[in-house]
Amino acid sequence: MDIRFDIIIDYLPLFLKGTLLTLGLSLAGVSIGLLLGLLLGLGKMSARRLVRLPFVWYINFFRGTPFLVQILLIHFGVVPLFMKPANPIVSAIIALSLNSAAYIAEIFRAGIQSIDKGQMEAARSLGMNHVQAMRYVILPQASKRMIPPLGNEFIVLIKETSLAAIIAAPELMYWGRAAGGQYLRVWEPYIMVALIYLVLTLSLTALMDYIERRLKTE
């Protein structure tokens, strides 16, 4: 099999540009997802069934349907209601954030519920209200246990950005498809794209392992 390195060289600046957008989409998605996920997780733990149900439905929908379907619905159905024409980057950020929030909500819920109930009772006995006890006692302890699954979610999100190519967001996979279409070649562009994703995910895995080790020593 002959390998055409000229294809990789020609598209290398675009691959790098797409990589930066991939990282930007992932960071935006996980950042917004963290905020939404915390609210969703707390909402799902509500003692009131009517309050809890909308959060449960949201989480079930976004965890139970394919991300490809979600991004298509958001880009062609939701975003055009507020922006015409729909911006694929905006659509990708919204879709990634909403999808990520559903998974992060479960991470927050599991992390909070893993803390002994006596911690909340002790905080309340010291005069803290529920919000203060969550902020100063429960969440700081739970956060250490949540870092590994949150890191895994970030890694998954990096790979899910590849589906944004379907709505023409110029991220990494978009340029891989463009190179494949221009040169009618599969191996060179897609192997290059796969290697870049591999470097990103392995680097993030190493970073999360380092953070986890540091937390264990504290």
Structural domains of the chain in order of their starting residue, each with its CATH number = 5-217 (1.10.3720.10)
Q: Which of 109, 98, 29 is nearest to 67 (CA)?
A: 98
Contact yes or no for 176/170 (Cβ under 8 A): no
Is it the case that residue 131 has pLDDT exceeding 90?
no
Is it the case that residue 121 has pLDDT exceeding 80?
yes
How far is residue 89's CA from residue 84's CA, in Å, rounded to a whole number? 13
How far is residue 39's CA from residue 36's CA, in Å, rounded to a whole number? 5
Average pLDDT over residues 143-168: 92
**Which pTM was predicted?**
0.91
Q: What tokens were used for 148? A: 């590994």
Q: Which of 111, 164, 98, 161 is nearest to 141 (CA)?
A: 111
Is the pLDDT higher at 213 or at 62? 62
Is it the case that residue 218 has pLDDT exceeding 70?
no
pLDDT tens column, 30-73:
999 999 999 999 999 988 889 999 999 999 999 999 999 999 99
Q: What tokens were used for 111? A: 């992390």
